[in-house]
Amino acid sequence: MPRTSQPFWVGLALLGFAALFSFLSPHFWSLGNLRSIAEQSSINLIAAVGMTFVVASAGIDLSSGAVVALSGVVMALSLRERWGVGVTIGLGLGTGALIGLANALLVVRARITPFMATLTTMNLIAGATLILTQGIPIYGFSARFAWLGRGSVAGVPVSAAAAAAFTVIGALALRTRLGVYALALGGNEEALRRSGVPADLYKGALYVFSGICASAASVIMTAKLNSAEPLAGTMMEMNAIATVVLGGTRLQGGFASITGTLLAGLLLGVIRNGLVLIGVSSYYQQFVTGAILLTAVLFSEGKR
């Protein structure tokens, strides 16, 4: 299956599962449930937008989940000191950017493979988060901050609006030099270097962008939970990678689809929500999601 057609098939699957769950549960199309799907999908979607660019360059970012946890703790400490919401968000996003920069330096300066570089930072950050909190959640934030995860504007959840904004930013960025060079890095990095492009600069920028997206997802998650959990981002990087690959972005690099990422994120959100509605045990939900992803990957890679 050509990669350019994969978003179409993912969109078709999204419609198919929506029809199936609406048949199995009369509550699927209720406004409350649709709002729940949007809110649940938004956190993964924001992180997946940044991951799309890294994967398109034939890289990987395993530190995203750890970034979510540490950014949440940094914001919680800021709020506990009664610093403003704006300052708090800035500190959270700055944390993601700094970790992204650290990943970039390991990849482009130390020449460590992206897998090992981000695996290392993932463990360092996770450990630092546990040390800062002693494994104890920090909770009880202001209503202004909680609104970012629980509030709405004109009936639209703030979290969904944030996910839509990041999706648009990602789609536009894919058309800029950052996006074009990300695809070129994944397609033929040596050719890009020989053409005089500062490949290391753009490769580093991709990891910084991924870190910012992960910390933005942390803003929504921390506000929604009204708590900073030391293990909040567990498996989030795997969910983001699954969303990106299911959406048609090549793990080998060279092709990316923000539309595919969006549709895949919604598909996974609908599947998880629908399984809950029809009473499927949580033990099976991750298995079903993994089976769908495996089927999509085998089909797309086998036909490529």
Average pLDDT over residues 79-107: 95
DSSP-assigned beta bridge partners for residue 157: 152
Tell me what pLDDT residue 142 has: 87
pLDDT of 1 over the 60 cut: no
DSSP-assigned beta bridge partners for residue 152: 157
Express each pLDDT in 200-257 by its tens digit.
999 999 999 999 999 999 999 999 999 999 988 888 999 999 999 999 998 889 999 9
Element (H, E) at 199: helix 199-225
Residue listed under structure tokens 């020989």:
194
DSSP-assigned beta bridge partners for residue 156: 153
Neighbouring C-beta atoms of residue 81, cutoff 10 Å: 9
Most confident of 4-8, 79-83, 281-285: 79-83
For the chain, give the longest Cα–Cα distance. Answer: 59
Express each pLDDT in 169-204 by its tens digit.
999 999 999 999 999 999 999 999 999 999 999 999
Express each pLDDT in 9-37 by its tens digit.
899 999 999 999 999 999 999 999 999 99
Would you place residue 301 in the very low, low, confident or very high pLDDT band (cuts 50, 70, 90)? low
Express each pLDDT in 250-280 by its tens digit.
888 999 999 999 999 999 999 999 999 998 8
Query: How far apart (Å, rounded) are the C-alpha atoms in residues 205 and 182?
Result: 10
pTM value is 0.93
Tally the residues of the chain: 304
Tell me what pLDDT residue 283 has: 77
Tell me what pLDDT residue 140 has: 84
Would you place residue 154 in the very low, low, confident or very high pLDDT band (cuts 50, 70, 90)? confident
pLDDT of 150 over the 70 cut: yes
Residue listed under structure tokens 């995860």:
149
pLDDT of 139 over the 60 cut: yes
Q: Is 109 helix (H, G, I), strand (E, B) or coil?
A: coil
Average pLDDT, the chain: 92
Cα dihedral across residues 168, 97, 51, 79: positive or negative:
negative
Beta strands in 79-223 (DSSP E): 138-139, 152-153, 156-157
Find all residues with CB under 8 Å of 49, minimum gap 6, and list them.
Answer: 166, 167, 169, 170, 213, 258, 261
Would you place residue 285 in the very low, low, confident or very high pLDDT band (cuts 50, 70, 90)? confident
Domains in the chain, start-ordered, CATH in brackets?
3-303 (1.10.3470)
Answer for the pair 70, 91: CB distance below 8 angstroms, yes or no.
Answer: no
Tell me what pLDDT residue 304 has: 53
Would you place residue 287 in the very low, low, confident or very high pLDDT band (cuts 50, 70, 90)? confident
Query: How far apart (Å, rounded) are the C-alpha atoms in residues 279 and 58?
Result: 39
Answer for the pair 62, 232: CB distance below 8 angstroms, yes or no.
Answer: no
Tell me what pLDDT residue 2 has: 57
Would you place residue 281 in the very low, low, confident or very high pLDDT band (cuts 50, 70, 90)? confident
- Cα dihedral 160, 162, 166, 167 in deg (nearest 10): 20
